[in-house]
Amino acid sequence: MQRLLIVLIVLMLAGSVAMAQTYPNPAYGDLSTPVTAEASYHATVDTYALVQIIPPGLLSVPGDPSVGTPGEAYLGPDLGPDLPPANGGVILGQVNTTCEFSVEVTEFNSDLIDGEKLWTMYKGGWMYTGLTPQGSILVPGSPPTYGWVPFEDFSGYDWVQVVDGFGANSEAYNSIMPPGLKGGTMIIHDITLDPVLDDARYARIFWGVGAKNRIDVDGDPPTPTSPWESRVYETIALQGDYTATMYATISAP
């Protein structure tokens, strides 16, 4: 019986110690002054990113306006920053930590004949950033004024020819971009956005697309140093649908 009482007492003491360790910093008093307890607790926000592409509408490529001159058509890029874009496409991004944006596009590929590709063009527009889904607060006060802040201007550069498997000849970076990771052409490579330093958690990148009514039927092999000049698109394209694909990527720096 004594052993049982000793065991019970030990267990009760252990429970009291455990409770004291689990709930520290007690407050007590005779209520002549308020008795207040304080404890801190924490939350952590996971890394988060969202990327979305709004593609342009149907690009209708005409026949030759004169002998030997390929018909061509273009959509965008829109000036922005408002949505939806009137003609071209736009990439939407959301980030809560420092990240990098990269964009890859493919040539227009025939839906009828595998390997038949249109002479494909791409052009960047403005990249805008904002602190809120409506943009940034440009003028503090009541009511707040929202707007999108220009972050990067690609609109002043010429149209870039897309050659699958090769990087674009990018005036914006004064260099040849690396090849795309999915077999296309990298046209934006590792644009860094820091939501703290740049005061922005939302981004909009406007872009345009074009095509000429020519394909490279004899398969000129593009040279690594000049794939655009070495590949000759000499043959009118078949009537029908062609599909291009864009890959927009947000990654850790």
Measured between alpha carbons, how far is 39 from 233 in angstroms, rounded to an integer? Answer: 71
In a domain, 200, yes or no: yes
Each residue's pLDDT tens digit, 102-143? 999 999 999 999 889 999 999 999 999 999 888 887 666 656
Each residue's pLDDT tens digit, 44-89? 999 999 999 999 999 999 999 999 899 999 998 999 899 999 999 9
pLDDT score of 28: 84
In a domain, 241, yes or no: yes
Report the Cα–Cα distance between both ends of the chain, in Å, rounded.
69
Residue 189 makes CB contacts below 8 A (sequence gap 6+) with 102, 167, 173, 177, 178
Range of the domain at 157: 49-251
In a domain, 175, yes or no: yes
In a domain, 30, yes or no: no
* Enclosing H/E stretch for 3: helix 2-22
Domain count, the chain: 1
pLDDT exceeds cutoff 60 at 14: no
Residue 233 makes CB contacts below 8 A (sequence gap 6+) with 70, 118, 119, 212, 214, 215, 216
Measured between alpha carbons, how far is 53 from 60 in angstroms, rounded to an integer? Answer: 20
> Considering the entire predicted model, what is its pTM?
0.81
In a domain, 139, yes or no: yes
In a domain, 116, yes or no: yes
Each residue's pLDDT tens digit, 135-189? 887 666 656 566 899 999 988 888 888 888 876 655 544 456 677 788 888 888 8
